[in-house]
Structure 1
Amino acid sequence: MTSTNFSECLSITLASEGGLSLERTDPGNWTGGRIGKGTLKGTKYGISAAAFPSLDIRKLTIDDVKPIYKARYWDEIGGDTLPSGFDLATFDYAVNSGPARALRGVQAVIGAPADGKSGPLTRAKAATAGTREIKALCARRLSFMRSLAIWNTYGKGWNSRVAKIEAKAVAMYLRAQPGVDAKAALADEASKAEKTAGTLQKAGAAIAVSASGGAGTGAALPAEPNLLVLGVVMVVGLVAAGMLVVKAAREKERAEAYRAAGR
């Protein structure tokens, strides 16, 4: 737990935020916080028109945004009091979705009342957070993102970002632990994620084959099948198979992120 982590966490987050975005389908780019409401000012270095409607987003510089990130995000989540790595996972979440939502996610994984505030109890429980809590927080964050209407537009990038943040956060935590071989531990995490991806892919493929009528499996269909029932079963099976494929892709992203973090 150290305030010197702010600069490192900010650098990691800004690498994901990029430059100016004026995407009209992103509610955050509008001063009113909803598509078509207010003025389309955009987002730059993660500073959105929805959160900062009075700023000239186009003209922002890195030096302009540093104090904003410190005051509006890092200090709001109590970044200086969080364990190394857990601070990054919480901070990046806060930048994307607001400090209150990020803190409610934190409170859910550490077992504190979910009021969205960095109070004494939250800080005390968060002080013992480690890799398990980092992973749980990132999983909750991604689940929230999937619930958003703009997931189809930004989902691929968000999935990649959260995987990278998780891996970098775990790496930061491990490297702060005396006597821990962080490189070996990260390689192990990558291996486990890769194995899980393979298992999910195989399960998805098996369900897809079964749902399509058991082609190639030697399975016998009823002599007089109920076409409506078969249709429903097929659709449910294919949806389930698709969900497993999506989860497998997520695990592959995590595997690659952990490998990169361990280099």
Structure 2
Amino acid sequence: MELTFEQAFDRLIGHEGKFTDDKNDRGNWTTGIIGKGILKGTKYGISAMTYPDFDIKNLTLDQAKEIYKRDWWDKLNADNLDPAIVFQVWDFAINAGMGTAKRKLQKSVGMAEDGIIGPLTIKAIQKADLNDVLMKFNAERLKHYTSLSTWPRYGKGWTLRVAQQLNYGAMDN
């Protein structure tokens, strides 16, 4: 199955849609530090920490879509990744940061974790068994989440998100 940006965006918005301004979530603060800066929140997964100058509360779905295409999909080199992997990595990048997602993908295929999804990483992905990559990547994702101090507060939601990713991985493979 070919996964297009449009399909990936529709999936993403399924769990990144509403506005939140949880004061305990560092992503909702313009500085990325709880209690410092302005509590602007997150909407459609677009956070004040990443986009401190945006009017998050009034962000439109079309604006979010443009941002996700330009700043996330294209910068991930998504069109060059296997359709079964691309949504996995893109979703994790949005949730945990681009660098983290790229490094965990590289680790999943035995590459140096430099955060660059270039020709060497793409070749390693293409040579690897797709199911192994999906399983290893999601294992790395869970290990990352459980290492965070915010695991007790947000862990259940993250775990459910990974469970959905495993379902998508099976569908896209």
| TM-score bucket (shorter structure) | over 0.9
Q: Which residue of 1 aligns with 2:157?
A: 157
Q: How does 1:1-263 map to 2 (within 5 A)?
A: 5-129=4-128, 130-173=130-173
Q: What are structure 2's unaligned runs of at least 5 residues?
A: none
Following TM superposition, the consecutive aligned residue runs of length 4 or more in structure 1 with deviations greater than 6 angstroms are: none
Residue by residue, what CA displacement relative to the aligned partner does 1:165-211 show, whole Å, maximum 9, x if unpaired?
Answer: 121122111xxxxxxxxxxxxxxxxxxxxxxxxxxxxxxxxxxxxxx
The answer to whether the 8 Å contact 1:81/1:127 transfers is: no
Give the aligned CA root-mean-square deviation in angstroms. 1.4
> Quick check: 152-161 or 50-59, which moved more?
152-161
- TM-score between both structures, scaled by the size of structure 2: 0.94
User: Partners of 1:8 and 1:165 in 2: how far apart?
Assistant: 14
Give the deviation of 1:124 after TM superposition: 1.6
The one-letter amino acid paired with 1:161 is: R
The one-letter amino acid paired with 1:136 is: K
Structure with a larger share of its residues in helix: 1
Q: Secondary structure at the match of 2:83?
A: coil
Residue by residue, what CA displacement relative to the aligned partner does 1:55-97 show, whole Å, maximum 9, x if unpaired?
Answer: 0000011100111111211112211011111001111010111
Calculate percent identity across the aligned residue pairs: 39
Residue by residue, what CA displacement relative to the aligned partner does 1:19-69 show, whole Å, maximum 9, x if unpaired?
Answer: 101000000000000101110000000000000000000001110011111
User: Partners of 2:115 and 2:165 in 1: how far apart?
Assistant: 21
Q: Highest Rg: 1 or 2?
A: 1
Residue by residue, what CA displacement relative to the aligned partner does 1:2-28 show, whole Å, maximum 9, x if unpaired?
Answer: 5x5211112111111121010000000
Higher relative contact order (CA 8 A, sep 6+): 2
User: Partners of 2:135 and 2:92 in 1: how far apart?
Assistant: 13
The answer to whether the 8 Å contact 1:83/1:128 transfers is: no
The one-letter amino acid paired with 2:64 is: V
User: Partners of 1:107 and 1:89 in 2: how far apart?
Assistant: 13
Q: Secondary structure at the match of 1:115?
A: coil
User: Partners of 1:30 and 1:83 in 2: how far apart?
Assistant: 34
Residue by residue, what CA displacement relative to the aligned partner does 1:120-162 show, whole Å, maximum 9, x if unpaired?
Answer: 1112212345121111111111111111111111111111011
Q: Secondary structure at the match of 1:127?
A: helix
The answer to whether the 8 Å contact 1:76/1:118 transfers is: no
- TM-score between both structures, scaled by the size of structure 1: 0.63
User: Partners of 2:75 and 2:126 in 1: how far apart?
Assistant: 16
> Quick check: 13-22 or 25-34, which moved more?
13-22
Q: What are structure 1's unaligned runs of at least 5 residues?
A: 174-263
